[in-house]
Chain A
Amino acid sequence: MQWPKIMNTSRKTGDDDWPASGIWLCLHFAQLPIEVFCRDRKDHPVVVSCRQKIQYMNQSASLIGIKSGNSMDTAYTVTNQIVNFERDEEKEFATLSHLAQWAYQFTPCVSIKAPHSLLLDVSGCLKLFLGLPNLVQEVRSGLARLGYSAAIGISVTPLAALCFAEACFAEAERGIDKNVVDSFDNTIISKVADSLQQVPVNALRIDKKIEESLQQMGIHTVGSLLALPTDGLSRRFGIFFADYLQRLVGEKPDPQKFIGEDPRFHSDITFLSDVTNIQSLAFPVKRLIAELCDFLQVRQLQLNHLVFKLSHRCHPAKQFSIYLANPENDAAMFLMLTQLQLDKINDMPEVDNISLSANSFSQADAHSGDLFHGTSFRQKDGRLHNNSDRDRTSRLLNMFRARLGPQTCFGLSLANDHRPEKAWKTVRLNKKDYWFPEKEDRQNQRPLYLLNKPRFLLSTNGRPNMEGTLDLTLGPERIDFGWWDGNDAARDYYVARQSCGAHYWVYQDMKTREWFLHGIFS
Chain B
Amino acid sequence: MLRDLSKNQSLQLLLHDTELWRASSIDCDFRQGITTGFPVLDGHLPGAGWPDDGVTELLHDQQGIGELRLLTPALARLSQTQTRWLLWVSPPYIPYPPALLKAGIDLTSILIVNPKTANDTLWVLEKALASKSCSAVLAWPGNINEKQIRRLQVASKEGNTWNILFRPAKAAERASPAELRIQLFPPKTSPSRHTSPSEHTSVDFRILKRRGGWSSEILNVPFEDRLNQITPDFPSLSIATEDISTRSLRDSALFQEIPEFESHDFDVLFEDRELMEIHAMAEDNEHQ
Instruction: Please report A residues at the B interface, Cβ cutoff 8 Å.
Output: 305, 360, 382-386, 389-390, 392-393, 395-397, 399-400, 403-404, 406-414, 420, 423-424, 426, 428-429, 431, 434, 436, 440, 442, 445-453, 455-456, 458-463, 465, 467, 471-476, 495, 497-504, 513-514, 519-522
Q: Which of B133, B258, B270 lies in contact with A396, CB distance below 8 A?
A: B133
The answer to whether A404 and B115 have CB atoms under 8 Å apart is: yes
Q: Which residues of B contact A472 (CB under 8 A)?
A: 234
B268 touches A449 (CB 8 A): no
Q: Is B147 an interface position by the 8 A CB rule?
A: no
Do B95 and A414 touch (CB < 8 A)? no
For residue B270, which residues in chain A have a CB less than 8 angstroms away from its CB? 407-408, 426
Find chain B residues with CB under 8 A from A445 CB.
Answer: 225-227
B269 lies within 8 A of chain A by Cβ: yes
Instruction: Report the interface size for chain B: residues with CB under 8 A from the other chain.
Output: 92
Check: B1 CB closer than 8 A to any chain A CB. no
Taking Cβ atoms with an 8 Å cutoff, the residues of B that contact A are 62-69, 72, 80-85, 91-103, 107-108, 110-116, 120, 123-124, 127-128, 131-134, 186-187, 190, 193-194, 196, 201, 203, 225-231, 234, 237-241, 243-245, 247-248, 251-252, 255, 257-259, 261, 265-266, 268-270, 273-274, 277-278, 280-281, 285, 288
Given A404-B113, A502-B62, 12 more contacts at CB 8 Å?
Answer: A411-B108, A411-B112, A442-B101, A442-B102, A449-B68, A452-B269, A455-B261, A456-B251, A473-B230, A513-B243, A522-B66, A522-B69
Query: Given A456-B255, A462-B244, A520-B93 in contact, is the A424-B98 Cβ separation under 8 Å?
Result: yes
Q: What's the Cα separation between A445 and B228 when bound, in Å?
A: 11
Residue A520 contacts which of B63, B231, B281 (CB distance < 8 angstroms)?
B63
A446 engages B190 (CB within 8 Å): no
Establish whether residues A452 and B124, one from each chain, have CB atoms under 8 Å apart when the complex forms.
no
Whether the pair A414, B84 counts as a contact (CB closer than 8 A) is no
- What's the nearest-Cβ distance from chain A to residue B74, in Å? 14
What are 24 of the A-B contact pairs (CB < 8 Å)? A383-B81, A390-B83, A396-B127, A399-B127, A407-B270, A408-B113, A408-B114, A411-B107, A412-B97, A412-B107, A424-B94, A426-B273, A440-B101, A445-B225, A448-B99, A458-B248, A461-B238, A463-B238, A472-B234, A474-B228, A476-B231, A501-B62, A502-B65, A521-B66
Select which of B102, B238, B251 is within 8 A of A458 by beta carbon.
B251
Indicate if the CB atoms of A474 and B63 lie closer than 8 Å: no
Shortest distance between the CB of B278 and any CB in chain A (Å): 7
Establish whether residues B285 and A360, one from each chain, have CB atoms under 8 Å apart when the complex forms: yes
CB distance from B220 to the nearest CB of A (A): 11
Query: Considering the chains assembled together, what is the distance between the CA atoms of A388 and B194 in angstroms?
Result: 55
Expressed in whole angstroms, the Cα–Cα distance for A393 and B278 within the complex equals 23
Is B98's CB under 8 angstroms from A395's CB?
no
**Bound: A423/B285 CA distance, A:** 28
Select B259's contact among A305, A456, A461, A467, beta carbons within 8 Å: A467
Which single member of B101, B190, B229, B274 contacts A407 (CB below 8 Å)?
Answer: B274
Are A519 and B96 also in contact (CB < 8 A) when A392-B133, A406-B281, A446-B102 are? yes
| 9 nearest A-B pairs in the assembled complex, by CB-CB distance | A501-B186, A502-B64, A462-B240, A449-B93, A392-B133, A522-B68, A446-B99, A450-B96, A520-B64
